[in-house]
Amino acid sequence: MSPSKYLTVAELSEYLQIHRTTIYRMLREGRLPGFRIGSDWRFSREAIDEWVRDQMETKKHHPGPGFNVESGQGTVEFALSATILLMLMFAIFEMSMVVYSYNTISHAARECVRYAIVHSPTGPNPATTTQIKNVAVSYADLPAPNQLTANDVAVSWPADPNLPSQDDAQCNISLDYNLRVPFLPSKTLHLTASARMLVAQ
């Protein structure tokens, strides 16, 4: 027996695999081809098949706002590109801070030795080693966690190579810089700076 050319609401619900409530709503909105016989709705199987084909063509040429493969691929590509770009920006910023820190401790070593040659232990206005170190620490105002401490500064009084009877003041600074770039393992850079001058007589 060939299938009926016309479907009831129950048969259409099973045919399209949608709920009867959805069918009635689409009928009220005029979105579904059908006709009434008294109080009952009937649907032409041929008209329904053509309507389904039209719906599929519409979806094909005018996709909705939902997720699709191309948009998903674009999202993934953007996420990867943005991650690499952010890593590069953080790396550039961090290396700039390394250069800044090295220049800072270099200047701090020179300030330290200038103070030391005027306030040497044999001079008229001597200063303690701690006071001399604090000059370098005060000058090198670096952000945490790479701040300079007195333990990073060494003060010595070697003999002058050109005037063996006189002493030089020497300040050595050693700073362990904690290099941190997101998504990469941290690394410690050993920065050193030194300054040496003849003690004022």
Domain that holds residue 57: 6-61
Assess whether 95 and 134 both reside in one domain.
yes
- What predicted TM-score, i.e. pTM, was given to this entire model? 0.59
Assess whether 15 and 51 both reside in one domain.
yes
Dist. CA 153–CA 145, nearest whole Å: 17
Assess whether 117 and 24 both reside in one domain.
no
Dist. CA 70–CA 75, nearest whole Å: 9
Assess whether 28 and 123 both reside in one domain.
no
Q: How many domains does the chain have?
A: 2
H/E stretch holding 41: strand 40-44
Assess whether 187 and 106 both reside in one domain.
yes
Assess whether 41 and 139 both reside in one domain.
no
Nearest Cα to 94, choosing from 176, 174, 179? 179
pLDDT of residue 149: 92
Assess whether 100 and 167 both reside in one domain.
yes
Dist. CA 180–CA 145, nearest whole Å: 11
Whether the CB-CB separation of 123 and 200 falls below 8 Å is answered with yes
Dist. CA 7–CA 134, nearest whole Å: 95
Q: What is the DSSP letter of 3?
A: P
Assess whether 114 and 171 both reside in one domain.
yes
The alpha carbon of 112 is separated from its chain's Cα centroid by a whole number of angstroms, namely: 38
Instruction: Let me know if residue 66 belongs to a domain.
Output: no
Mean pLDDT in each 10-residue stretch from start to end of the chain (201 residues)? 79 90 90 88 91 83 53 78 88 92 95 92 89 93 88 93 88 92 84 92 67
Instruction: Let me know if residue 18 belongs to a domain.
Output: yes
pLDDT of residue 67: 44
State whether residue 55 is helix, strand or coil.
Answer: helix
> 172: which 2 tokens?
């050595």
Assess whether 112 and 38 both reside in one domain.
no
Assess whether 47 and 102 both reside in one domain.
no
Dist. CA 80–CA 53, nearest whole Å: 39
> 33: which 2 tokens?
């081809």
pLDDT of residue 185: 85
Instruction: Let me know if residue 77 belongs to a domain.
Output: no
Assess whether 114 and 168 both reside in one domain.
yes
